[in-house]
């Protein structure tokens, strides 16, 4: 397990997403209203790029004719076949126990602790006063 600096928080604003490669793995990182989430950039179905997915809500229903649009912005819909994944857990809606998008732990660390290491951040120069998005893999 190692920790990888994705970006400074200032460079990775809410409402954006980023495709990175860590240990050879393509990973998509989202900033949703200040919270960061990371998923392997492969839909478990046919490996579509989840970076190209749509962030939407969950259409829930208690009975026919009832539509509740919940958890707006927290459901990622695959760009191909429309399978839905919970951005927080990677779980699919259609078969949550068996089908999951692989998710990774993301944390915000201050520059001082990042400088202390051990972090992998080849492409960044770390500034102590800033905060950083850190992915554990």
Partner 1 sequence: MNAQNPSAVQKPQAAMIADCDIHPIWNKPKDLYPYLSRRWQEHIETFGLSHRHGWQTGTPYPKGNASGYRNDAWPEDGGKPGSDFNLLKRDLLDANNIELGILNATGANGQGFQNLECAAAYCTAVNDWLIEEWTAKDPRLKASIIVSYEDAPAAVAEIERRAGDERFAQVMLLSRTAEPLGRRRYWPIYEAAERHGLPIGIHAFGFGGYPITGGGWPSYYIEEMVGHSPACQALLTSLIVEGVFARFPKLRVVLIEAGFAWLPALGWRLDKLWKTLKAETPALTRKPSEYIRDHIWITSQPMEEPQPREQLLDTMDWIGWDRLLFATDYPHWDYDDPAHSLALRISDENRRNFFRNNAREVYGR
Partner 2 sequence: MSLIPPSLIPPGAIDCDVHPAVPDLRALFPYLNNHWRDQVVQRGMGDLETISYPPNAPLSARSDWRPASGKPASSVAQMREHILDPWQIRTAILNPLYGVHLLFSEDMAAAFTSALNDWVRHEWLDRDERLRASIVVPLQNVDMAVAEIERCASDRRFVQVLVMALGETPLGRRHFWPIYAAAARHGLPLGIHPGSSYRHPVTPTGWPSYFTEDYAAQSLALQNQLTSLITEGVFQKFPDLTVVLLESGFTWLPGYLWRLTKFWRGLRLEVPWVNVSPTELVRERVRFTLQPLDAPPTAADLEALLRHVDSDKMLLFSSDYPHWQFDGDEAIPAGLPAQSLQRILVDNPMDTYPRLGEP
Q: How far is the CB of 80 from partner 2 (least distance, A)?
A: 8
Using an 8 Å Cβ cutoff, are 100 and 92 in contact? yes
Q: Going along the chain, which residue ranges are E strands? A: 3-8, 17-22, 25-32, 35-40, 54-60, 68-77, 84-86, 103-110, 131-136
From the list partner 2, partner 1, none, partner contacted by residue 46 (C-beta under 5 to 8 A by kind): partner 1
Q: Which of 24, 33, 64, 122 binds partner 2 (CB under 8 A)?
A: 64
From the list partner 1, partner 2, none, partner contacted by residue 89 (C-beta under 5 to 8 A by kind): none
From the list partner 2, partner 1, none, partner contacted by residue 21 (C-beta under 5 to 8 A by kind): none
**What are the two backbone dihedrals, phi and then psi, of residue 83, each rounded to the nearest 5 degrees?**
-65, 145
Instruction: By CB under 8 A, tell whether 96 contacts partner 2.
Output: no
Residue 4 has, within 13 A of its CA and on its CB side, a CA count of 18
Interaction site with partner 1 (CB under 8 A): 18-19, 26, 41-42, 45-49, 51-54, 79-82
């Amino acid at each position: 397990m190692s920790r990888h600096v994705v970006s400074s928080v200032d460079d990775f604003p809410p409402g954006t997403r980023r495709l990175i490669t860590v240990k050879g793995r393509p990973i998509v990182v989202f900033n949703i209203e200040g919270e960061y989430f990371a998923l392997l950039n492969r839909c478990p179905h046919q490996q579509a790029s989840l970076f190209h997915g749509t962030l939407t809500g969950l259409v829930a229903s208690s009975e026919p004719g009832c539509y509740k649009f919940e958890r707006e912005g927290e459901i990622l819909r695959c760009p191909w076949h429309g399978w839905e994944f919970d951005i927080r857990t990677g779980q699919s809606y259609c078969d949550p126990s068996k089908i999951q998008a692989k998710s990774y732990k993301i944390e915000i660390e201050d520059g001082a602790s990042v400088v202390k290491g051990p972090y992998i951040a080849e492409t960044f120069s770390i500034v102590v006063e800033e905060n950083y998005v850190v992915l554990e893999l």
